[in-house]
């Protein structure tokens, strides 16, 4: 389905002609959708997980770019052959500020590569995109492409150790990722660009910092020895390579496509990782509705496939059919992976000639099988009988939508015209005369989005998605008729050249001033773009609107007709008589032909004339926000300023200002906080503040839409300080939008009809938040318990019920009448601009100054030494099978620079080992993350796990991991320790990528009230000074579960169904044989695992305990393998440890099986520590000592510069 928000709509409508749809992404930065911030969710630290992203999400979350026309004409230089390499072009259209150089080459094996020389990058990267994805899965083995993607990480002939690749990346501050989509599989990585760390010292080994990096490694960083604790990975790295980091990474990376091993010892674990990934998505409406649409499509087209795969489709069913699954994956790889289907993008500091030499050396071995491009031209996703139908689907969350799908023309070769862009721009418009403006005024809808969804070469769908109100659901037929009336208007008039030219102009401006993106995002996207039939000179500007073709637009419009669409109506209430369940996700639905009277109304709507059509529907007006003043006065400076200056500081206003001296783009941002403690005084006040903000934004939609299209946006939200307002984008007309926003805030008239629609939407948001994935929810409860004044969704929802329109009308003037105004103006602005915009805000509001004594002060609780608190909640969703834990260890004050440096280094040192041990080896769950947790005034260390295991069990495994970590720290070499330090230093000193990243950094430090603008540099300096003894002491005092001075709080989110405790007999046997087989192989014994399995099967070990299993194993070692008693004893002892470690997964009883947890009051943990269960949060907080509020690190007067020239 297309995007459902206005912001996503803009991305959708301006996306490139790409199928960049990350079907299966190995990791990503987590951004939870919590109801209290449902409109603008925010989350600072990001748990890492592997993501399998549905096809319909592709353009949404991975096409945040709108490539545009360059000011240069396309080149047509002839290709040049250099030896066995064909140089295709070096003349790529690129943005005005792009200082990179490019070269496109083709190797003798027909592998095509884009080489990128960036002299300033601090990260090198590469990506390979293979033209095969889940559409090539066997019909009876869905998920094959996804599984192969997992397995390629598990060792190669040249580098047989299963985690050699990830270990090398980790030793050079690197990370990797991959995704599987419909017709492509994309692999990518990044590493340090040079062998020098940020402090100028040679770079040794280092691991990525999960708190800031979100690298992959998921199930790809285990070892074949099940007894090795992940903590030992702290000291494992390969630093013998004298070559640049990029060369070593490319060497290992290339072997994925030369000689992967598909290690038998990793197969079961990786398939279980795929299965866990699928289970994570089972309650996600995005996945459920996407698959429902696919399942009700043409079975002869691969769009019908279930793409993720699970243990049943990838292992159990194939084995029942007599297949050897490893051989099937190898066969898939050999059938579909070929050099001529691969596109490579490499970015580094090295010269183009050097990069070319490396690529030829390392990738020429990839076999070329001269395979054709994967296409499905002879079959379409929807047959005639799949159209003209209406599908009623019941969602997990309380959502309502109407989605219209039209089979559409394939635009793959229409990259110069892209007719769908014209159509989606108009249908998806939100200004006066638009579909949304009309149905919103009628009270039927809250949002609309439209655009093309590429399915595969040869097929596409044009989609219109409308977020309905309660009344809109009842009137969904009327909504559909309005859509078809608008389409009739577009079809009856000639396509408008001026509309196309306006879109083209905006795209040119965007491309001209496009800034750099992170290295791996850049290479991954470009390797995908290279699969398209674009002229190679246009790889960077592939979505340019270059030619207007009215006939082509009319042809595209001809697909939007009554005999060529299907409807999907999503609601928890209507119609109520769903009679079917979708196979893979269990979504309840009902499907049938669109009633004849409804279809007749649609045909009538499409045949309307200007005289019979709704008069409110008309073409948009010309966009007055198109920027025309795009000059940038660039002045060379010895070094960019590291802090903003205070150019006004009085009782009413603090104005921070910095003219851009680093990026030189015609853009800027003005952040404004109207500080007023009333907004955060009570849960009711915060809800009122949110409703007020939503009402203002609702009133501004039609006006602000043009600004957003023209690259100028605003945000308005309630916060702990009061009201936050920002305007950002091209600075040309920034003051115009700022004035309109504040005037609308001041003059808001609360419309009762819109109020009740927005109130109901917010209420649903609060309810839906409790049906999110548990790991999305757990952070809310941690904040609730550790902040002096914070609330949770159920408290907001309770207050919301009692708020009426007059409450908002009476409340918001109090927010605006007295406040303190904090401003940051940054970008292509002058001091005079900043002062004028600040005066503008003052003059509109006419507010009184708020004394500093009345400002809200943020504080956090100090978890006392020796404490061990647990807070439990039962999840609201009865169908969610996952539990979750956030295990939080209190460290100290945010202002303790040395302590903060120790935490950063410890988090870095345990990031990969925690993931490896708890996720890869113990297979506790798909979501495992560890890292630093920053609150307003305190810092701590946390581990988050989402799992089918109980939270209490997860806590015991975290305890065990942390205890083992202490042993590893003690034995760590100085060389390894220094490598970890360099990794943290590199990360803290990483270069800013664009103007918005610098603005965000400044505003974050201003909002923190510490004004520590040089925190990254001081952190790097403090980390550089640390010794191993410092970290060992830090660990012993504050982290070690056995420490009497440690303070810990755990949040348990428990599934209603309880833990997964039963393991089926066959599954138990398979897991047991796999575990013991790996142990024996790692110990140097050749073992016939099939024979071992048959022995266990004959013994009938289902539900057995450890002693019974060991007795059978002992007999096998003696009789089948002829081992002596002396050889057998250590094997059995190790097996006992392994079985104990994996007892839950194996379904095996152990002597120390979990005892029934204490549910109230005080109990004992497995480490012997007293456990205090929190049953009354208010009492808990009342007993805790609170931290001091934020105290400025640097006296604010040092930033004052009232005579700043610029």
For residue 478, indicate whether it is catalytic. Answer: no
Where does 337-418 have alpha helices with state H? 352-363
Query: H or E element: which one contains 137?
Result: none
pLDDT at 1111: 84
Is-contact 795 784, C-beta < 8 A? no
Distance CA(728)–CA(716), nearest Å, equals 12
Chosen CATH of 867-1059+1176-1186 out of 3.40.50.10420, 1.10.10.10, 3.30.830.10, 3.30.70.1140: 3.30.830.10
Task: Give the residue among 787, 902, 942, 742 at the shortest CA–CA distance from 46.
Answer: 942
**Residue 171 — pLDDT band, cuts 50, 70, 90?**
confident
Mean of pLDDT values over 1024-1030: 97
Query: Would you list the DSSP string of 498-510?
Result: HHHHHHHHHHHHH
Mean of pLDDT values over 864-893: 95
Distance CA(46)–CA(58), nearest Å, equals 21
Cα-to-chain-centroid distance, residue 20? 15
Distance CA(1190)–CA(852), nearest Å, equals 13
Question: What pairs with residue 104 in β-bridges?
Answer: 89, 114
Distance CA(259)–CA(757), nearest Å, equals 59
Task: Give the residue among 547, 517, 543 at the shortest CA–CA distance from 532.
Answer: 543
Helix, strand or coil, per DSSP, at residue 221 = coil
pLDDT, mean over the chain: 86
**Residue 1114 — pLDDT band, cuts 50, 70, 90?**
confident
Judge residue 202's burial from the number of C-beta atoms within 10 Å of its C-beta, 0-12 exposed, 13-18 middle, 19 or more buried: exposed
Question: What pairs with residue 25 in β-bridges?
Answer: 51
In this structure, of 614-623, 648-657, 1119-1128, the range with the lowest mean pLDDT score is: 1119-1128
Q: How far is CA 296 from CA 390, 451, 579, in A?
A: 11, 21, 14
Tell me 49's DSSP state. Answer: E
Residues 6 or more apart whose CB falls under 8 angstroms from that of 343 comprise: 111, 112, 113, 114, 128, 129, 131, 527, 528, 530, 531
**Residue 640 — pLDDT band, cuts 50, 70, 90?**
very high
Is-contact 1031 906, C-beta < 8 A? yes
Does 717 score more than 80 pLDDT? yes
Query: What does the block give as tokens for 934?
Result: 């920053």
Distance CA(1054)–CA(953), nearest Å, equals 12
**Residue 121 — pLDDT band, cuts 50, 70, 90?**
very high
Distance CA(1079)–CA(225), nearest Å, equals 6
Does 9 score more than 50 pLDDT? no
Distance CA(34)–CA(1077), nearest Å, equals 44
Give residue-wise pLDDT tens across range 377-403.
Answer: 889 999 999 999 999 999 999 999 999
Give the HSE-up count for residue 330: Cα atoms under 13 Å, Cβ half-sphere. Answer: 13
Cα dihedral 954/956/958/961 (nearest 10): -140
Q: What residue ranges in 619-704 does DSSP mark as E strands?
A: 645-649, 653-659, 667-675
Task: Give the residue among 885, 929, 874 at the shortest CA–CA distance from 1052.
Answer: 885
Mean of pLDDT values over 276-284: 91
| C-alpha Rg value of the chain to the nearest Å | 30
Mean of pLDDT values over 512-526: 95
Query: What does the block give as tokens for 930?
Result: 């560890």
Mean of pLDDT values over 213-232: 34
**Residue 1205 — pLDDT band, cuts 50, 70, 90?**
low
Distance CA(625)–CA(1140), nearest Å, equals 66
Angle at alpha carbon of residue 282, lines to 267 and 1061, rounded to 5°:
65
Angle, helices 897-914/974-988, rounded to nearest 10 degrees: 110
Q: How far is CA 588 from CA 580, 595, 640, 657, 736, in A?
A: 6, 21, 58, 55, 49
Query: What does the block give as tokens for 233?
Result: 């990975």
Secondary-structure class of domain 662-854 per CATH: alpha beta
Does 50 score more than 80 pLDDT? no
Q: Are 80-363 and 384-503+514-606 equal in CATH topology?
A: yes
Question: What pairs with residue 848 in β-bridges?
Answer: 818
Q: How far is CA 516 from CA 65, 665, 1112, in A?
A: 11, 12, 61
Number of helical (H) and strand (E) elements in the chain, helices listed first: 38, 33
Q: Terminal CA-to-CA distance of the chain, rounded, Å?
A: 48
Q: Active site residue: 112, 149, 922, 948, which one?
A: 149
Superfamily of domain 80-363: Metalloenzyme, LuxS/M16 peptidase-like (3.30.830.10)
Is-contact 435 726, C-beta < 8 A? no
Tell me 305's DSSP state. Answer: S
Where does 846-896 have alpha helices with state H? none
Give residue-wise pLDDT tens across range 687-709.
Answer: 999 999 999 999 999 999 999 99
Does 1 score more than 90 pLDDT? no
pLDDT at 1116: 84
Distance CA(49)–CA(288), nearest Å, equals 20
Where does 821-915 have alpha helices with state H? 831-845, 897-914
Judge residue 536's burial from the number of C-beta atoms within 10 Å of its C-beta, 0-12 exposed, 13-18 middle, 19 or more buried: buried
Residue whose tokens read 């994967």: 374
Q: Are strands 342-348 and 112-117 parallel, antiparallel or unpaired?
A: parallel
Is-contact 467 439, C-beta < 8 A? no
**Residue 3 — pLDDT band, cuts 50, 70, 90?**
very low
Residue whose tokens read 């990975």: 233
Q: What residue ranges in 184-290 does DSSP mark as E strands?
A: 185-192
Distance CA(775)–CA(1055), nearest Å, equals 12
> Is the overall model pTM greater than 0.85, yes or no?
no
Distance CA(878)–CA(781), nearest Å, equals 19
Is-contact 785 1174, C-beta < 8 A? yes
Does 1182 score more than 60 pLDDT? yes
Q: What strand order describes the sheet that includes 123-130?
A: 80-82, 85-89, 101-106, 112-117, 342-348, 123-130, 185-192, 175-180
In this structure, of 800-809, 1005-1014, 1166-1175, the range with the lowest mean pLDDT score is: 1166-1175
Distance CA(1030)–CA(19), nearest Å, equals 50
Tell me 619's DSSP state. Answer: P
Does 788 score more than 90 pLDDT? yes
Does 25 score more than 70 pLDDT? no
The CATH number assigned to the domain with range 384-503+514-606 reads: 3.30.830.10
Task: Give the residue among 381, 379, 408 at the shortest CA–CA distance from 303.
Answer: 381
Does 1140 score more than 90 pLDDT? no
Domain boundaries, the chain: 80-363, 384-503+514-606, 662-854, 867-1059+1176-1186, 1065-1146
């Amino acid at each position: 389905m297309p995007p459902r928000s206005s912001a996503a709509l803009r991305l959708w409508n301006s996306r490139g002609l790409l199928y960049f749809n990350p079907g299966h992404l190995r990791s990503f930065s987590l951004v939870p959708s919590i109801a209290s911030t449902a409109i603008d969710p925010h989350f600072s630290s990001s748990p890492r997980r592997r993501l399998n992203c549905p096809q319909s999400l592709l353009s949404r979350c991975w096409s945040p770019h709108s490539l545009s026309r360059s000011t240069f004409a396309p080149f047509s230089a002839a290709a040049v052959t250099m030896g066995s390499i064909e140089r295709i072009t070096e003349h790529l259209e690129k943005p005005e500020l792009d200082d990179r150089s490019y070269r496109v080459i083709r190797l003798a094996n027909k592998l095509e590569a884009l080489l990128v020389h960036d002299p300033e990058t601090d990260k090198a990267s590469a990506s390979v995109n293979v033209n095969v994805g889940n559409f090539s899965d066997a019909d009876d083995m869905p998920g094959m492409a996804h599984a192969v993607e997992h397995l390629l990480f598990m060792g190669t002939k040249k580098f047989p150790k299963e985690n050699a690749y990830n270990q090398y990346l980790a030793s050079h501050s690197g990370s990797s990722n991959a995704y599987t989509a419909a017709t492509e599989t994309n692999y990518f990585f990044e590493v340090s660009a040079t062998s020098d760390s940020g402090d100028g010292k040679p770079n040794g080994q280092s691991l990525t910092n999960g708190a800031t990096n979100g690298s992959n490694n998921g199930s790809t960083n285990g070892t074949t020895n099940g007894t090795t604790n992940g903590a030992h990975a702290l000291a494992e790295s390969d630093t013998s390579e004298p070559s640049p980091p990029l060369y070593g990474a490319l060497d290992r990376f290339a072997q994925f496509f030369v000689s992967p091993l598909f290690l038998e010892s990793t197969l079961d674990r990786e398939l279980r990782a795929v299965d866990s990934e699928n289970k994570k998505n089972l309650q996600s409406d995005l996945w459920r509705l996407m698959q429902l649409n696919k399942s009700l499509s043409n079975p002869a087209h691969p769009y019908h496939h279930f793409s993720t795969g699970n243990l049943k489709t990838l292992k159990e069913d194939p084995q029942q059919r007599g297949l050897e699954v490893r051989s099937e994956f190898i066969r898939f790889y050999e059938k579909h992976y070929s050099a001529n289907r691969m596109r490579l993008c490499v970015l580094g500091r090295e010269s183009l000639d050097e990069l070319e030499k490396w690529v030829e050396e390392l990738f020429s071995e990839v076999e070329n099988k001269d395979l054709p491009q994967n296409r499905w031209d002879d079959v379409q996703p929807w047959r005639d009988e799949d159209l003209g139908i209406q599908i009623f689907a019941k969602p997990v969350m309380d959502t309502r939508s109407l989605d219209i799908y039209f089979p559409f023309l394939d635009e793959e070769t229409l990259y110069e015209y892209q007719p769908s862009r014209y159509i989606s721009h108009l249908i998806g418009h939100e200004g006066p005369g638009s579909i949304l403006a009309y149905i919103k005024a009628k009270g039927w809808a809250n949002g609309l989005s439209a655009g093309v969804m590429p399915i595969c070469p040869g097929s596409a769908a044009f989609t219109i998605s409308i977020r309905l109100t309660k009344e809109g659901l009842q009137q969904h037929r009327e909504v559909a008729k309005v859509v078809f009336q608008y389409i009739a208007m577009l079809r009856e008039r000639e396509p408008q050249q001026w509309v196309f030219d306006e879109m083209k102009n905006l795209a040119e401006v965007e491309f001209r001033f496009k800034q750099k993106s992170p290295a791996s995002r850049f290479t991954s996207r470009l390797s995908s773009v290279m699969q398209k039939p674009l002229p190679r000179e246009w790889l960077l500007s592939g979505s340019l609107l270059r030619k207007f073709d009215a006939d082509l637009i009319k042809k595209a419009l001809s697909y939007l007709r009554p005999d060529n669409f299907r409807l999907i109506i999503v609601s928890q209430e209507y119609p109520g008589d769903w009679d079917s369940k979708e196979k893979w996700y269990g979504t309840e639905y009902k499907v049938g032909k669109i009633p004849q009277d409804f279809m007749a109304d649609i045909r009538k709507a499409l045949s309307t004339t200007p005289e019979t059509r709704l008069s409110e529907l008309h073409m948009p007006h010309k966009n007055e926000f198109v920027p025309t003043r795009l000059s940038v006065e660039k002045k060379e400076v010895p070094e960019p300023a590291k802090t903003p200056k205070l150019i006004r500081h009085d009782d009413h206003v603090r104005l921070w200002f910095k003219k851009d001296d680093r990026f030189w783009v015609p853009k800027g941002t003005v952040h404004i906080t109207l500080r007023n403690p009333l907004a955060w005084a009570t849960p009711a006040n915060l809800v009122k503040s949110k409703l007020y903000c939503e009402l203002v934004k609702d009133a501004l939609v039609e006006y602000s839409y043009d600004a957003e299209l023209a690259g100028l946006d605003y945000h308005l939200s309630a916060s702990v300080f009061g009201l936050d307002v920002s305007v950002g984008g091209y600075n040309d007309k920034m003051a115009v939008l700022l004035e309109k926003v504040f005037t609308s805030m001041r003059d808001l008239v609360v419309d009762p009809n819109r109020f009740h629609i927005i109130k109901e939407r917010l209420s649903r948001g609060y309810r839906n938040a409790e049906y999110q994935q548990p790991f999305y929810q757990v952070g809310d409860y941690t904040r609730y318990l550790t902040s002096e004044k914070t609330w949770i969704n159920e408290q907001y929802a309770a207050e919301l019920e009692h708020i009426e329109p007059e409450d908002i009308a009476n409340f918001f003037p109090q927010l605006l009448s007295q406040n303190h105004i904090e401003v940051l103006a940054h970008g292509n602005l002058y001091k005079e601009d900043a002062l004028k915009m600040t005066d503008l805000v003052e003059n509109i509001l006419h507010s009184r100054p708020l004394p500093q004594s009345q400002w809200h002060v943020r504080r956090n609780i100090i978890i006392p030494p020796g404490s061990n608190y647990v807070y439990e909640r039962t999840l609201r969703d009865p169908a969610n099978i996952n539990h979750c834990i956030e295990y939080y260890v209190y460290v100290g004050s945010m202002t303790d620079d040395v302590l903060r440096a120790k935490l950063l280094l410890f988090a870095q040192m345990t990031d990969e080992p925690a993931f490896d041990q708890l996720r890869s080896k113990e297979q506790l769950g798909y979501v495992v993350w560890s890292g630093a947790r920053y609150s307003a005034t305190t810092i701590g260390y946390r581990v988050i796990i989402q799992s089918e295991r109980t939270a209490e069990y997860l806590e015991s495994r975290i305890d065990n991991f942390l205890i083992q970590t202490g042993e590893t720290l003690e034995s760590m070499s100085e060389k390894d320790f220094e490598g970890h330090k360099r990794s943290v230093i590199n990360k803290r000193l990483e270069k800013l990528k664009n103007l918005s990243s610098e603005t965000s950094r400044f505003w974050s430090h201003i909002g923190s009230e510490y004004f520590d603008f040089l925190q990254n540099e001081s952190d790097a300096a403090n980390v550089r000074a640390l010794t191993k003894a410092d970290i060992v002491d830090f660990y012993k005092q504050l982290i070690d579960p056995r420490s009497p001075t440690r303070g810990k709080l755990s949040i348990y989110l428990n599934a209603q169904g309880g833990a997964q405790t039963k393991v089926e007999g066959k599954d138990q046997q398979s897991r047991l044989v796999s575990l013991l087989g790996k142990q024996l192989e790692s110990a140097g014994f050749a073992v016939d695992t099939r024979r071992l399995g048959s022995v266990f099967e004959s013994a009938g070990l289902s539900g057995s305990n450890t002693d019974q299993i060991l007795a059978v194993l002992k007999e096998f070692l003696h009789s089948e393998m002829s081992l002596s008693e002396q050889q057998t004893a250590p094997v059995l002892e190790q097996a006992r440890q392994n079985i104990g470690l994996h007892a839950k997964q194996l379904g095996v009883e152990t002597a120390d099986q979990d005892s029934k947890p204490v549910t109230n009051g005080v109990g004992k943990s497995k480490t012997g520590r007293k456990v205090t269960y929190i049953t009354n949060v208010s009492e808990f907080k009342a007993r805790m000592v609170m931290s001091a509020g934020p105290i400025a690190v640097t006296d604010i007067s040092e930033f004052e510069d009232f005579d700043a020239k610029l």
